[in-house]
Structure 1
Amino acid sequence: MDLVAPVVVEPLRRRRCAECRRGPLERMIVEYGRPVCLDCADLGHLVFLRRGDTALTRRARERSALWAVVVRHNRRRTRYERQGLLVEETALAEAEAACLADTEARARRRARDAERRAVLDAGVTEALRAEILRLFPAMPAARAAEIAVHASAKGSGRVGRTAAGRALDRDAVTAAVHASVRHVDTPYDSLLMRGVPRHRARAQIAPAIEQVLRAWRAPLPGQRDAPGATGATGAEGVPGRTDR
């Protein structure tokens, strides 16, 4: 059976309990649209565990017969965000003892995981760099490396972190190069700063982008044809793509 934990709110405004009239409340639950303090809600015996330590949070939650999620509304993001948990004090003490007992082992595991992720990230970046140079053999090597690093930055959500980018999909790789040329080799950014609409600015710089890409597709001495030198291109020189 799935558990449904109570949700406790940290109010942004001064609120009083609808039952005992105490306030202002640091934390409360909402029942039938009314604020209720933790004591009246039978949660007053729980202690607050701030989010951040994943192992401690998981262990305290598992050991606590009753626990609640604490949230606060973020006005800028217009959503409720998790702040931590309310758990039984004995459960928290047991969880802290368990975490202390295996601190060294968890630290070693985190270090191993970090090393594996670093190797994987380096492999993704190198593969992307090699594919960029295969498609654009006349591109300066330093620029290819710069584009690969930027496109595959961890947590960026850019092309290199997508499934298509990891699979070295030709359109995805070309899109990464295209984006770099747009921002580095054309006045696109300055056009936007002058208030030119994005689609109009892209249309204006399309010839300059295609000129750069055409030069980078040129075969190096000794090569008969550059990879990707032929074939249909969409708007602004992106194969099989249209400007969106």
Structure 2
Amino acid sequence: MLVLEEDGSRCLDCADLGHLVFLPRGDTALTRRSREESGLSAVVVRFNRRKGRYERQGVLVEEAGLARAEQRCLADAEARRRRRLRDARRRAAADARFTEAFTAEILRLLPGCPVARAGEIAAHASVRGSGRVGRSAAGRALTEGAVISAVAASVRHLETPYDELLMNGVPRNEARRRIGARVEARLREWREGEGGEGEGAGGEPPPGFPLR
């Protein structure tokens, strides 16, 4: 590694830069902070003959300055980690509150729905990032249509041969038509306050809600 000066090239020691350490390019934050922490620094370039230009390779900085810069970056990384943990806890708490509210709305609209089943439906429908009805705008607003859609989807998949029909190649709309009366019967039963864990039914939910 040579230093280009007006009167020619010099080695690092001859240019009074021999005590510096080389930091390769790639970590922008560490490079910037290393130069901030160093009283003396220099940019290292290499001539690219194919492209006909100099390209930056890294910097020379004081070893103590590099160590201080690394500590600053580590402190930032730890701060980011703690912030991510706090954010994750906040999201988890918000998700739990939303699931509880969704469960309560199911039980208000369908008082005959078993409490445990309502909780399972709400938890499934409201998974963050799932794209399910609970995470739609209507679902977050706990509209009646969204809540009933989530319950109908649960009944459809768990209490009817809907999935089997799909696996056998029956078109989705036709499969829903075949099991629609059973879904509607279950929803009607739960609306009227009649519980039950047996096989039952349920109807088509209001249009416009994505069901999984």
Which residue of 150, 153, 157 corresponds with 1:179?
A: 153
Which deviations, in whole Å up to 9, do the C-alpha atoms of 1:85-127 show, x marking residues without a partner?
Answer: xx9645xx89866431323322222221111111111111111
Instruction: Give the 3-state SS of the residue equivalent to 2:81 in structure 1.
Output: helix
Matching residue of 1:36: none
> Separation in 2 of the partners of 1:243 and 1:161?
10
Structure 1 unaligned spans of 5+: 1-45, 49-55, 64-86, 222-234
- Contact 2:127-2:135 at 8 Å conserved across structures: yes
Does the Cα contact within 8 Å between 2:176 and 2:204 map onto a contact in 1?
A: no
Counterpart CA distance in 2 for 1:62 and 1:174 is 56
Report the equivalent of 1:103: 77
Matched to 1:236, the amino acid is: G
Contact 1:124–1:160 at 8 Å: present in 2 too?
no
Contact 1:236 1:243 in 2 (8 A): no
What is the identity, as a one-letter code, of the residue corresponding to 2:133?
V
What SS does structure 2 have at the residue aligned with 1:173?
helix
Q: Decide which structure has the larger Cα Rg and report it.
A: 2
Q: Which residue of 1 aligns with 2:166?
A: 192
Whichever residue aligns with residue 178 of structure 1, its letter is A
Q: Which amino acid aligns with 2:76?
A: D
Picking from 198, 203, 206, the partner of 1:236 is 203
Residue in structure 2 matched with residue 3 of structure 1 by the alignment:
none
- TM-score (normalizing by structure 1): 0.53
Which sections of structure 2, spanning at least 5 residues, go unmatched?
Answer: 1-23, 34-55, 60-65, 196-201
Which TM-score applies when normalising by structure 2?
0.61
Q: How does 1:79-228 map to 2 (within 5 A)?
A: 89=58, 98-219=72-193
Amino acid in structure 2 at the alignment position of 1:173: V
DSSP-derived class of the 1:236 partner: coil
**Secondary structure at 1:137 match in 2:** coil
For 2:182 and 2:92, the matched residues in 1 are separated by 36
Q: Distance in 2 between matches of 1:242 and 1:164?
A: 10
SS across alignment from 2:83: helix
1:220 Cα offset (Å): 6.3
Relative distance call for 1:110 and 1:195 in structure 2 (3 A) is same
What is the percent sequence identity of the aligned residues?
55
Amino acid at match of 2:166: L
Instruction: Give 3-state SS (helix, strand or coil) of 2:203's partner.
Output: helix
- Count of residue pairs brought into register by the alignment: 152
Q: Conserved in 2, the CA contact under 8 Å of 1:133 and 1:139?
A: yes
- When you count helix as a share of all residues, which structure comes out higher? 2
Give distance in 2, aligned partners of 1:88 and 1:160: 51
Q: For 1:193 and 1:47, locate their aligned partners in 2 and report how far apart those are by CA, in whole Å.
A: 54
Q: For residues 89 and 164 of structure 1, what CA distance do their matches in structure 2 show?
A: 53
Greater RCO, CA 8 A, separation 6+: 2
Task: Please say if residues 146 and 209 of structure 2, whose CA atoms lie closer than 8 Å, have aligned partners that are also in contact.
Answer: no
Aligned CA distance change for structure 1 residues 171 and 116 (closer, same or farther; 3 Å)? same
Q: CA RMSD in A?
A: 3.3
Describe the shift of the 1:152–1:61 C-alpha distance in structure 2 as closer, same or farther (beyond 3 A): farther
